[in-house]
Amino acid sequence: ELEPKVPTCSPSSVGGKVETQYLGGSDIVKGGEITVIQYGNSGGNACGPPAKVRGSLIYRNGHPIVDDENNFPDGSEVTFNCIESIMGEKTTWKIICEDGSWIGRSLNCDTDDIAGTQIINNNSTCIFRNQEPNVISFFNDQQIREEVVEFPAGAILISRCVDIGKFAMIGPNKRRCMGGEWDGVKPACFGLNQANDYSMEKPPTILFRHQLGPIAQSNEGKLIVYPGTILHMECLWIRRFGNPKWTISHDYRKYPEGWSTDPGRDPQLEYRLSIFHASKDDSGLFTCVTPARYTHSVEIEVKAIHCPVVPQRRGLTVNTQSTKMNTRLKFSCINGNALIGAPEVVCLPSGNWSSPFPICEKVHCDNPNAPENGYIQGTGPYKAGDVVQINCNPDYMMEGQPIIACQENSRWSGKMPKCKLSIIP
């Protein structure tokens, strides 16, 4: 007679020791449920196990990672969960495996250590390293272009992806210098399906095309659209695998959508939604959802952005008086005066000009000293653009250029020629 064994239940490993190795992290989410999206294998290289962070538990697909998990396919998303502190706060962040590398950075769960450091170094400066690919950052509405910059305590940086339709950001878009460190985690941007051979297991790329008005990306990562503009947003998806769909955060009106049929467009790849003659009520979140249920969203703000009126300055001329967003002003000076400042400025989506306006000033060069055994034709004062001719005395031969010019930096061009005695054979 057969007697089956009685089944037993053993405690799960939640809360147990998780032996992993950490390589990076993602955005911070305080409290709430832990949700994990498994992108699946899109053909890229797998990642090794992520490393542990002291005081945290690590999950994949909502389940704790166990010691023997060593293979994480391309697109895997892992969630870190800091064990609750004495104040009851809970912090989580995520990392994504992309072609063999973890995208994102770690958050320290040792809150006591962080607080102590901030008290000691409350007024310390922070070093910003501008090295994250496809991420651009701003300070006081100016893009940071240097590789390494030191900022004062309290400084706030705003970041976004270089193209909000082609990349998605993980991590916060705003960070503050506190106690010699940047709060939160450093943001990162990863490429969408266009950068991955239109993989079905990547979020979709969105392209922007516009008519009758300007569009621009704000520092915070919104798409600013000038009222009256016609905007086409094209979600990239291989047509033979089904139709994507667009979802909108409001029901202001019905938007036409379908496969693009315009000349030069690809009807087998570009699924379009169009906003005709945009108005303020069109503002909202527009999301493309693929048949594989991957999504990418763009927040649109319809707003008439204008920069301050161009002031009248003596001797300064400008190519246009328009102040509309994206307008590019080009400056020049009359009467041979020198332009001091930026020769071009652009109206930013923040409503500020990209640089202060230049001024025109008269520039003078000091009287040049004649070379030995030579003389100068003409007398000063010399202003920018003036030229001077140098001659040598009889029986002397010139070595160098006979003409120099007064430049806008108040310096003479080139070197003063020399006069050398002619050798008669």
The angle formed by the CA atoms of residues 299, 286 and 191, to the nearest 5 degrees, is 75
The answer to whether 196-302 and 316-361 have equal CATH topology is no
pLDDT digits (tens, 9 = 90+) for 294-339: 999 999 999 999 999 988 888 899 999 999 999 999 999 887 788 8
State the alpha helices, DSSP H only, in 212-265. Answer: none
In the prediction, which pLDDT does 424 show? 67
Q: Is residue 136 over pLDDT 90?
A: yes
Domain 196-302 top-level CATH class: mainly beta
State the CATH class of domain 365-421.
mainly beta
Express each pLDDT in 174-193 by its tens digit.
999 988 889 888 899 999 99
Handedness of CA 142, 146, 151, 154 (dihedral sign): positive
Q: What tens digit of pLDDT does each residue of 228-243 get?
A: 999 999 999 999 999 9
Q: Where are the domains of the chain?
A: 14-109, 196-302, 316-361, 365-421
Tell me if 86 sits within 8 A of 62, measured CB to CB. Answer: no
- What is the value of pTM for the model shown? 0.65
pLDDT at 38 > cutoff 60: no
Tell me the percentage of the chain whose pLDDT exceeds 90: 54
- Provide the greatest CA pair distance for the chain: 132
What average pLDDT does the segment 409-417 reach? Answer: 86
Please give the Cα distance from 81 to 31 (Å, whole number): 9
Query: Which CATH superfamily does the domain covering 316-361 fall into?
Result: Complement Module, domain 1 (2.10.70.10)
User: Cα 361 from chain centroid?
Assistant: 36
How sure is the predictor about 47, in pLDDT bands with cuts at 50, 70 and 90? confident
Tens-digit pLDDT profile for residues 339-364: 889 999 999 999 999 999 999 888 88
Distances (CA, A) of 253 to 171, 186, 328, 422: 33, 38, 34, 88
- Average pLDDT score, the chain: 82
3-state secondary structure of 114: helix
Q: Of 127, 133, 171, 283, which Cα lies nearest the Cα of 218? A: 283
What is the C-alpha to C-alpha distance for residues 325 and 225, in angstroms, rounded to an integer? 9
